[in-house]
Structure 1
């Protein structure tokens, strides 16, 4: 059975959260609800109402991008994400969640790194502290196309 959670895999260098992954159960509010502005709460409530209050909700903040107030997801995806973020966090499991940036994890290192330690270029390509690289920004597009 899937349960709501908020995961913050710690950066292997500094210990700060590398990313934020949160599953919000149907009808529930995000973990940081009390800290959100009234406008953010209104937007979340309106989106939730538009998509149905019995829908799972995913909130993600990655290395270079995120999904703001979140997106509705089906039970199958919620189940896959919950299984991927069972501690101890490992790249092999986290990559099954399907996040573009693998939630800040470097595969060869089997460790997550925060934005500060990914050394991200202006093109959205990042290298971990050990020199392994990958694209971290799903929205980057070259200006010259």
Structure 2
């Protein structure tokens, strides 16, 4: 069974979050709900109601993009994502979550980097501080082209 959680893997260079991953349990609110402005709360509630409040919900902000007010995830996805973000964070586990940008992790470095430390081009392709490259935007070209 998955567990609700918040993960903000710290950038290996500066300690700021490389991404924000939050798995919200059915019927629950996000962890920092009380700090959200009313407009954001309303948009979130509308999105949840449209998909049904009795399912798992994923909030994601990556290096380049995110999923806005979130998206529904089924039990299998929720379980996989929760397992992928067990601490200590490791690229081999985080990669199993299936995020297009691996939550800011560089595979060869086995480390996450924030937006400031990924050198991202206008096409969404980025290089880490050690020069390893990858696509960081879901709409960019795949790495292997």
Shorter-chain TM-score category?
A: over 0.9
- Cα deviation, residue 139, structure 1: 2.5
- Cα deviation, residue 4, structure 1: 0.5
C-alpha RMSD of the superposition: 1.0
Q: Quote the residue 2:7 is aligned against.
A: 7
Relative to the length of structure 2, the TM-score reads 0.94
- Cα deviation, residue 2, structure 1: 1.3
- Cα deviation, residue 49, structure 1: 1.4
Relative to the length of structure 1, the TM-score reads 0.94
Q: Following TM superposition, where does structure 1 have runs of at least 4 consecutive aligned residues deviating by more than 2 angstroms?
A: none
Q: How many residues align?
A: 141
Q: Quote the residue 1:90 is aligned against.
A: 90
Tell me the SS of whatever aligns to 2:126.
strand
Q: Which moved more, 1:38-47 or 1:101-110?
A: 38-47
Q: Quote the residue 2:119 is aligned against.
A: 119
Q: Over residues 105-138 of structure 1, what are the superposed CA-to-partner deviations in whole Å (9 max), with x where a residue is unaligned?
A: 0000000000000111111110001000011011
- Aligned 1:1-145 pairs, distance under 5 A: 1-140=1-140
Q: Which moved more, 1:111-120 or 1:43-52?
A: 43-52
Tell me the SS of whatever aligns to 1:63.
coil
- Cα deviation, residue 42, structure 1: 1.1
Structure 2 segments unaligned to the other structure (5+ residues)? none
Q: Over residues 6-51 of structure 1, what are the superposed CA-to-partner deviations in whole Å (9 max), with x where a residue is unaligned?
A: 0000000111111000000000001121111111111111211121
